[in-house]
Structure 1
Amino acid sequence: MPKATPLHYLRATLFYAGFYPVTILYSAFCLLVGWALPFRPRFKLFTVLNYFYMIWLRICCGVRFEVSGLENLPRSGAYVVVANHQSEWETLYFQTLVRPQSVVLKQELLKLPFFGWALAMLQPIALDRSQRRGALKQLLSQGRDRLSQQVPVLIFPQGTRVKVGEMGRFNKGGAMLAVDSQVPVVPIVHNAGLYWPGKSFVKFPGVVQVRIGAPLATVERSVDDVHRESVAWIEQEMREIGA
């Protein structure tokens, strides 16, 4: 990880000087009009903001991204995305990649003023992580509902942000949901933590590598088999891109 310099702090300050006011204003607008829209048009409207984030991040901090394996992402239908979690970056970018989606997240995020309130209108699966057994039932119940509506579900099986160079523990929730609903699992890896470290104010210029794996079949397969295959692919690709 490079050492932060005064220039890095200056560029990050410029980024947030645009990030917060635009987030508040656009979220307020979405809260006013979003209730009148069906889910899919609402998702498209709300996530226009995420394209701004990516452009603004590149302008201010020099953080770009490259995606390989885009042909592996299903163009339609239900599937479960499992991805590593290192940064705030992927939570913003993935809403431009998987459209629409229902993201699995911690319940506390929905309490954030403006951003969290707007996020709550995008049908996330907001889990109370203090209730482990109840959280799994909620994931399967609400996830099954989203998938039945042909809305992909995005889950970060590590459960929380993990530092670059560490794997953490991958839970089986994504594999369980996919096997339960008989839909494919699409694994994705990235190394965003190199350029936007988790909970870091400073961003470092560079190119985030995003790799999308081939969909993994779940029909007539066990949860353990699907989980092992997805985790093996994720861990191998993370090592290759230095995540």
Structure 2
Amino acid sequence: MKKVVDYILGSLYLLYFGLLMIIFHGVQVIAYRIFGPRAHQKSVEIFNLFIVAGLYMTGSTVSFSQKVAIPTGRTVIFISNHQSMFDIPGIIWFLRKYTPKFVSKKELARGIPGISYNLRVGQAALIDRHDPKQAITEILRFAKHISENHFSAVIFPEGTRSRTGRLKPFAVGGVATLLKKCPGALVVPVAVRNTGRFNPKGLFPLSSFTAMSWTTLDPVEPAGRTPEDVVADCEKQIAGFLGQNPA
């Protein structure tokens, strides 16, 4: 019976999600070309609000909490575990006051209505995972952009999704490059729970009645610490929150 419910509610949500992508692709183009980057960013935030709110259509729940307040007006590097594509809408909406920008693989910058356009004009870091030189150059450009504008960066050091929820080892390279160009940035770990359980086998079927959450943990001041130490601290906090041992 649960599978039947999953297919019905999942189908309804994906229809809703697809319509949002098409509608907000147009909204983003209009916002960016007529009103500029700030209006475009607002349209992206509203787009992701609708994505997150729509999760309730599947009987699922979403929640967000902060262990401590995070200062605004300062560049923040959010380090998050990665379970699913649904990690991202929650981060964009719940952390919107920090204007999060993503480090993403370049393949996502083409062919996905609403999402690819945002990655391109929103100046995300679009990296080629098979070309380390290009990846470093792109992250350096991205770091300069967020530092100058007091935006935030979001990076998934696991590199690929862990649909089981078990943490994969956190890589240091991307974080180290960001810290090099943003020496005054604050690093904040983000623990994402159960988005992988929501779509364990790809985009369909979705698992209804899933409780998903996003939680920011204790900020890490990188001054006087190596990137390896900073990433290890974040990995340990996220693993502890999820009831796991670091990978």
If the length of structure 1 is used for normalisation, what is the TM-score?
0.89
Aligned residue number for residue 106 of structure 1: 105
Give SS of 1:31's match.
helix
Aligned letter for 1:76? G
Q: 198, 204, 227: which one pairs with 1:223?
A: 227
CA displacement at 1:13 relative to structure 2: 0.5
Q: 31, 34, 43: which one pairs with 1:33?
A: 31
Q: How many residues align?
A: 237
CA RMSD of aligned residues (A): 2.0
Give SS of 1:72's match.
coil
Give SS of 2:214's match.
strand
Give, in whole Å, the separation in 2 of the partners of 1:135 and 1:4.
43
> 1:80 and 2:77 equivalent?
yes
Q: Contact between 1:147 and 1:181, CA under 8 Å: does it hold in 2?
A: yes
Aligned letter for 2:140? L
Give, in whole Å, the separation in 2 of the partners of 1:217 and 1:33.
36
CA displacement at 1:4 relative to structure 2: 5.4
CA displacement at 1:111 relative to structure 2: 0.4
Aligned residue number for residue 150 of structure 1: 150
If the length of structure 2 is used for normalisation, what is the TM-score?
0.87
Aligned letter for 1:6? V
Over 6 Å off, 4+ runs = none
Identify unmatched segments of 5+ residues in structure 1. Answer: none
CA displacement at 1:163 relative to structure 2: 2.5
User: Structure 1 residues 176 and 226, CA, compared in 2 at 3 Å: closer, same or farther?
Assistant: farther
User: Structure 1 residues 36 and 145, CA, compared in 2 at 3 Å: closer, same or farther?
Assistant: same
Give, in whole Å, the separation in 1 of the partners of 2:229 and 2:221.
10
Q: 219, 234, 240: which one pairs with 2:238?
A: 234
Q: Contact between 1:15 and 1:61, CA under 8 Å: does it hold in 2?
A: yes
Of all paired residues, the percent bearing the same amino acid is 21
User: Structure 1 residues 151 and 64, CA, compared in 2 at 3 Å: closer, same or farther?
Assistant: same
Q: 73, 82, 87: which one pairs with 1:90?
A: 87
Q: 189, 196, 204: which one pairs with 2:191?
A: 189
Aligned residue number for residue 209 of structure 1: 213
Aligned letter for 2:200? P
Aligned residue number for residue 139 of structure 2: 139
